[in-house]
Chains A and B, each alone.
Chain A
Amino acid sequence: MSIGVASDARGRRERRPLKQLFLIAFAVLLSGCAGVQSALDPAGTEAEAVATLFWVMVAGGTLIWIAVMGGFYYATRIKREPHSERAAGRLILWGGAVFPVVVLTLLLAYGLSLMPKLRPWTAVAEEPALRIEVTGEQFWWRVTYHRAGEDPVVAANEIRLPVGERVVFTLKSADVVHSFWIPSLGGKMDMIPGRDNTLTLEATRTGIYRSPCAEFCGSSHALMVFSTVVMEPDAFDDWLAREARPSPGAKADGLDAFLRNGCQACHAITGTEANGVIGPDLSHVGSRDTLGAGILQNEIDSYVALIRRPDVIKPGIRMPGFHGLPDEEIETIARYLKGLE
């Protein structure tokens, strides 16, 4: 598919004098559409449908552009004698009015026909098998899994899904407008204070996908990301069951240090007395793909850095810095948290 883009770009740029720029552009386009955050590398039904729609429109758009600019070039540079006013008037009628009406009608029919399947016209009535409630907060994600007939499971900054199953998301915001977006699976849906939005997505391919906040939400908007982990259904069920139980490492050494420094005022760890609800739930933080809402690798050093100077890592974060603590104390807490798997 990337080849298609490249040759179309070549078509447009051939006449220009700066060949080197063309070569760079060509290389850029060749670098492809793949990626863990790419809408053009779909791993979900909605993303697939939209990617196809996109390529169809690119093809049509390219032809139209060439035709119109060709017409302009002919009219200004090639023709020797003026054409009659009648012929020119017919061009306006057919080119400017009839052709767009026909093409746009067809495109609209195609585009809108996708909608009922991707995002149902009416709200989902009964409680679905799996509903995930995600609340955007500056600058992280509160995630709660609702399985029919089971207790909700609270997590943060990572979303796991079973492949091949339609999952319903309830999207909320605790402060400002955020937007929930997993480019590989489908389009976005805003999280607006005072409103509950609903989105359904179906993943078609297992893997880990990066999912950034898509509505500007303040200083660290760029640093508000989560990982979407699409798993085989069995593996997902096992994982969710594990997630519902306390981590084996919950009572390990380091819990004292965690509590001693007041971390539980904001953070909760199941199976301990830490039950704060202001910041992200840390019950299984050690097993997440990333740390700090998608911006750091999940390793001891990241914990240390985050505990010490969170405002440096993430401007505008509400967590206070603990750089006043002795290094060993921070290290102890970091090891403890990394052990929460």
Chain B
Amino acid sequence: MSVLPDVLPEDTRSDGEREAQAERLRAVWKTPTGWRYWTAVNNTEVGVWYTGAAFLFMLFAGVLALIVRVQLSVPDNDFVSAEFFNQAFTLHGTVMMFLFAVPIFEAVAVIILPQMLGARDLPFPRLSAFGFWSFILGGVFVCGSIFFGAAPNSGWFMYPPLATSEEAGIGADIWLLGLSFIEVASIAAAVELIVGVLKCRPPGMKINLMPLYAWYILIVAGMILFAFPPLIAGDILFEMQRMFDWPFFEPERGGDPLLWQHLFWIFGHPEVYIIFLPAIALLAMIVPTFAQRPIVGYSWIVLAAVGTGFLSFGLWVHHMFTTGLPSISLAFFSAASEAVAIPTGVQIFVFIATLLAGRVIFSVPMLFAAGALAIFIIGGLTGVMVALAPFDWQAHDTYFIVAHLHYVLIGGVMFPIIAGIYYFFPMIAFRKLSDRLGKIAFWLMFVGFNVAFFPMHLSGLRGMPRRIFTYPDELGLNLLNLVSTVGAFIFAAGVLVIAYDMLRPKKKQPYAPRNPWNAGTLEWLTEMPGEDWGVRSVPIIRSRYPLWDQPTLMADVDAGRYYLADAEEGQRETMVTSVLSAEPIQCLRVSGPAYVTIFSAFALGGVFIFLTFHWWWLTLGSGILAGGGILYWLWTGTAIIPEKREKDVGLGLKLPIYVSGPKSVGWWAMFITMVGDGTAFGSLMFGYFFYWTIHDDFTNGLAGPGVLWPLVAAACFAAAWAAMLLSRAANGADRPQGLRLWLCVSLVLTVAGSCAGLYGPYAHGMDPTAHVYPAIVWIVILWTVCHGAIGLVMQAYCLAGSFAGRLTAEYDIDIHNVVLYWHFMLVTALATFLVVGLFPLAV
């Protein structure tokens, strides 16, 4: 039985009371002013900074692209040197992918997702802020390198051995470490968004009533969890080779450059959909609004998006059609690559069907949506072409692919994002962008884009390879390239018009009317101008388009007649609901402004930056600061024992303030993080078995870690896990002494297991620089031992919590989350030690 009332009870508050409530709410959610402004963590601030920063990186990468185009405008040009050109195109691709396309999705989602869900904020505001500060630091570090001539120069795909060679220089380290840092931030954002979609929906918004945008975000954030970790695993192998000469990709010592290509594209292909789907999600919000009717085929489009997400993990080999893999696998991956066109087609037809069944209003967001479709479909069709291996043999690594990928990304990502900017701008800045400038920008961008990129199809098939800094006069490529360059500048002019439209002062312009596009979803509850609280009260939702279908909703929300209309304890609060049916289960207190997020992000950034320069002591010091910062943050900001068990959130509903285990958002965050972590571990294990498949004798006759010590390690970790279960049980039975005892036992076993794990390869004299076999054994053991060390910190943290009285039988979030970590730890340790110990015997 739902606890949600069908009819709102009569409002008995006096006007004064209501105003006092609003005043308290306003004070709690007030954005800090002055220089403290930058300590803000609320989604509206962080999201806007995030979007702005991603846009600046996009402009920077765009300038690099223009330099590339100038260099290629005429044959035998010497506008820039070969070395600068190589840095420029490498950075262009890298920045567009890692510093624009992925972050812009996260940035936009951080802004609009909570609004769409009628939530006050995402569940971990400080995590968003931490992600932003990490992103900006990593981004500036990577981009700044080009001003010192030290930018990565091996292409955004960083293929070894070129990228592991000395020729690649420090740029390769900047790429690997800078981007690893940013990937961590991306995964943090993914965790935040998944928990946000699953747990922070308004009461009554069952999962099948979610806005399509939330579906897409859920799917894409899930994809990040499985797509980014293989790259992080690859980065680890890569950096170990560069720093310590472990030969993962060097054939002379048993390595194989192809392993990197596999790991990179297992990441790289889903990546395309990770940036494409959120942009389509924007269209999925825009199209119904301008068709003035609900989407036609809600289940079709959701299933299609899920299908695209799944299929995208089975396509990576189509980036490797020319590497000499067996033809049979080329045929398989050709078929899979063609198949992904089907769910994509469904999504496009859902839009057309919705427009067909609606009364269409054509304005600037729709104009960009139309342009997106016109361009993206060409990119999709050329995608169908290159998915066929025989055609790809010719087209691969030519300008045909450059054309194809820009048609996909500019049509499928850039244009929808700009449509989204024109659409959502009033929600964020409370004023509309200019229709006139929007139209000018559209035509400049649309025409410029096609003039720039359409000829590239032909220049590619006429033999122009990618990534060449010059070409000779007599090949017939001159005119095609000149036209492309002219088009690029026209396109850039359009982008500038949009930048101007966003930044131009709008003080004199009147505020937009409320819900200016007459949309149906909750983000348009925003008042003009808006308040920092996001939504005056958290409504009960019964429809996919509540503003259309629940006529009194806006007035009731504004009157504070729904949940959490007050902030009597002076705390920032939002609702947590159940995953499927959105029944209210908790009044979650979220954290407010903090310095610790900035501090932790910069300290962690220091680790990656100092590593680049091999400044070991600074790295260590920075690591200690980062660890300390994060522990302080957790200690002071999470699992706080509230002053009372539960509170009245309005409408007579009492909700607990403190919940633990699977009901709590922290448990979900841990679970999701560990799924990503497990994927990275799986990728390392993939490496282990990959080397086994490519060699007749993958140990190369070298000693392994033996059987004894790995088994001892496995046994210790298993026992440590069992002790963790006992400690949780003791805590549940309100026996703090038992909790502490078992924690200590588990802690000792973890140390013992880690030592035993390391002793195996050490005792057998395994030299990781000698051959890839000892290197891969060492790396999986080190991975597991590092996780043991993290598990150890968690045990110590729980011990401290128990002594400090913040971990008790009643308030037990930490022990639940730590035990959850240990479930994953157990799997990791058993897989590691059983494989390295026993697998060599089996082959």
Q: How far is the CA of A142 from the CA of B393 in the complex (A)?
A: 22
Q: How far is the CA of A32 from the CA of B359 in the complex (A)?
A: 45
How many B residues face the partner with a CB closer than 8 A?
97
**Which residues of A, 18-60, contact B by the 8 Å Cβ criterion?**
18, 21, 24-25, 27-29, 31-40, 46-47, 49-50, 53-54, 57
A221 within 8 A of B: yes
B348–A96 CB distance below 8 A:
yes
Q: How far is the CA of A83 from the CA of B354 in the complex (A)?
A: 9
Q: How far is the CB of A44 from chain B (nearest CB, A)?
A: 11
A88–B469 CB distance below 8 A:
no
User: What 0/1 pattern do residues 343 to 356 of B give for CB contact below 8 A with A?
Assistant: 00111111011111
A188–B396 CB distance below 8 A:
yes
Residues of A within 8 A of B770 (CB): none
- Kindly specify which of A113-121, A160-168, A237-245, A325-333 makes contact with the partner chain: A113-121
A49–B258 CB distance below 8 A:
no
Beyond A96-B300, A188-B397, A214-B396, whether A107 also contacts B384 by CB under 8 A is yes
**Which residues of B, 349-395, contact A by the 8 Å Cβ criterion?**
349-350, 352-360, 362, 366, 370, 373-374, 377-378, 381-382, 384-385, 388-395
Beyond A88-B357, A91-B349, A198-B324, whether A39 also contacts B373 by CB under 8 A is no
Residues of B within 8 A of A36 (CB): 463, 475
A61–B384 CB distance below 8 A:
yes
User: What 0/1 pattern do residues 2 to 17 of B give for CB contact below 8 A with A?
Assistant: 0000000000000000
Residues of A within 8 A of B476 (CB): 31-32, 34-35, 38
**Which residues of B, 780-797, contact A by the 8 Å Cβ criterion?**
none
CB < 8 Å neighbour of A37 from B347, B463, B479: B463
CB < 8 Å neighbour of B455 from A25, A76, A218: A25
A101–B342 CB distance below 8 A:
yes
Q: How far is the CB of A196 from chain B (nearest CB, A)?
A: 8
User: What 0/1 pattern do residues 400 to 434 of B give for CB contact below 8 A with A?
Assistant: 00000000000000000000000000000000000
**Which residues of A, 189-231, contact B by the 8 Å Cβ criterion?**
189-190, 192-195, 197-198, 210, 212-223
A134 within 8 A of B: no
Q: How far is the CA of A79 from the CA of B355 in the complex (A)?
A: 10
B161 within 8 A of A: yes
User: What 0/1 pattern do residues 249 to 289 of A give for CB contact below 8 A with B?
Assistant: 00000000000000000000000000000000000000000
- Kindly specify which of A124-132, A149-157, A179-187, A299-307 makes contact with the partner chain: A179-187
Q: How far is the CA of A189 from the CA of B322 in the complex (A)?
A: 5
Looking at B326, B339, B346, B388, which has the most chain A CB atoms within 10 Å of its CB? B388
Q: How far is the CB of B20 from chain A (nearest CB, A)?
A: 47
Residues of A within 8 A of B300 (CB): 92, 96
Q: How far is the CA of A74 from the CA of B358 in the complex (A)?
A: 12
CB < 8 Å neighbour of B345 from A95, A189, A221: A95
A248 within 8 A of B: no
A120–B391 CB distance below 8 A:
no
A100 within 8 A of B: yes
User: What 0/1 pattern do residues 639 to 653 of B give for CB contact below 8 A with A?
Assistant: 000000000000000
B381–A216 CB distance below 8 A:
no
B348–A39 CB distance below 8 A:
no
Residues of B within 8 A of A39 (CB): 394-395, 461-463
A21–B447 CB distance below 8 A:
yes
CB < 8 Å neighbour of A47 from B341, B373, B394: B394
Beyond A68-B377, A72-B355, whether A187 also contacts B342 by CB under 8 A is no
Beyond A25-B451, A54-B385, whether A100 also contacts B345 by CB under 8 A is yes
CB < 8 Å neighbour of B463 from A31, A68, A91, A183: A183
Beyond A83-B357, A222-B470, whether A28 also contacts B352 by CB under 8 A is no
Beyond A64-B381, A97-B342, whether A112 also contacts B331 by CB under 8 A is yes
B357–A87 CB distance below 8 A:
yes
- Kindly specify which of B79-87, B105-113, B719-727, B733-741 makes contact with the partner chain: B79-87
Residues of B within 8 A of A176 (CB): 159, 161-162, 165
B468 within 8 A of A: yes
Q: How far is the CB of B457 from chain A (nearest CB, A)?
A: 9
Residues of A within 8 A of B331 (CB): 112, 115
A65–B462 CB distance below 8 A:
no
Beyond A83-B357, A111-B388, A186-B393, whether A69 also contacts B454 by CB under 8 A is no
B454–A210 CB distance below 8 A:
no
CB-nearest residue of chain B relative to A42?
B394
Residues of B within 8 A of A4 (CB): none
Residues of A within 8 A of B322 (CB): 179, 187-190, 214
Residues of B within 8 A of A324 (CB): none
A177–B349 CB distance below 8 A:
no
A233 within 8 A of B: no
Beyond A57-B391, A219-B86, whether A212 also contacts B352 by CB under 8 A is no
Q: How far is the CB of B82 from chain A (nearest CB, A)?
A: 4
Beyond A28-B480, A72-B355, A188-B394, whether A104 also contacts B330 by CB under 8 A is no
Q: How far is the CA of A83 from the CA of B357 in the complex (A)?
A: 5
Q: How far is the CA of A287 from the CA of B211 in the complex (A)?
A: 70
A92–B384 CB distance below 8 A:
no
CB-nearest residue of chain B relative to A38?
B462
B394–A187 CB distance below 8 A:
yes
CB-nearest residue of chain A relative to B338?
A104
Q: How far is the CA of A214 from the CA of B345 in the complex (A)?
A: 32
Residues of B within 8 A of A54 (CB): 385, 391, 394, 461
A84–B463 CB distance below 8 A:
no
Q: How far is the CB of A20 from chain B (nearest CB, A)?
A: 11
B656 within 8 A of A: no
A315–B82 CB distance below 8 A:
yes
CB < 8 Å neighbour of B483 from A28, A71, A89: A28
Q: How far is the CB of B411 from chain A (nearest CB, A)?
A: 12
User: What 0/1 pattern do residues 444 to 469 of B give for CB contact below 8 A with A?
Assistant: 00010011001100100111111111
CB-nearest residue of chain B relative to A9?
B454
Q: How far is the CB of B173 from chain A (nearest CB, A)?
A: 17
Q: How far is the CA of A161 from the CA of B79 in the complex (A)?
A: 38
Q: How far is the CB of B475 from chain A (nearest CB, A)?
A: 6
B692 within 8 A of A: no
B342–A213 CB distance below 8 A:
no
Q: How far is the CB of A193 from chain B (nearest CB, A)?
A: 5
Residues of A within 8 A of B362 (CB): 76-77
Residues of A within 8 A of B258 (CB): 192, 195
CB < 8 Å neighbour of B373 from A72, A104, A195, A220: A72
Residues of A within 8 A of B297 (CB): 88-89, 92
Q: How far is the CA of A27 from the CA of B339 in the complex (A)?
A: 36
B548 within 8 A of A: no
Q: How far is the CB of B658 from chain A (nearest CB, A)?
A: 46
Q: How far is the CA of A107 from the CA of B328 in the complex (A)?
A: 17
CB < 8 Å neighbour of B338 from A35, A99, A107, A315: A107
CB-nearest residue of chain A relative to B168?
A218
Q: How far is the CB of B507 from chain A (nearest CB, A)?
A: 34
Give the 5 A-B residue pairs with the shortest CB-CB distance, closest first.
A187-B393, A194-B251, A37-B463, A96-B349, A222-B468
Can you add 4 more A-B contacts, CB < 8 Å, to A29-B455, A175-B165? A35-B462, A46-B390, A111-B388, A189-B322
Q: List 30 A-B contacts (CB under 8 A).
A: A25-B451, A28-B455, A35-B476, A47-B394, A49-B390, A53-B388, A72-B355, A87-B357, A88-B296, A92-B350, A95-B345, A100-B341, A111-B391, A112-B388, A119-B327, A121-B327, A175-B161, A187-B393, A187-B394, A188-B322, A188-B397, A189-B322, A193-B251, A195-B256, A214-B397, A214-B465, A216-B162, A216-B466, A219-B167, A222-B470
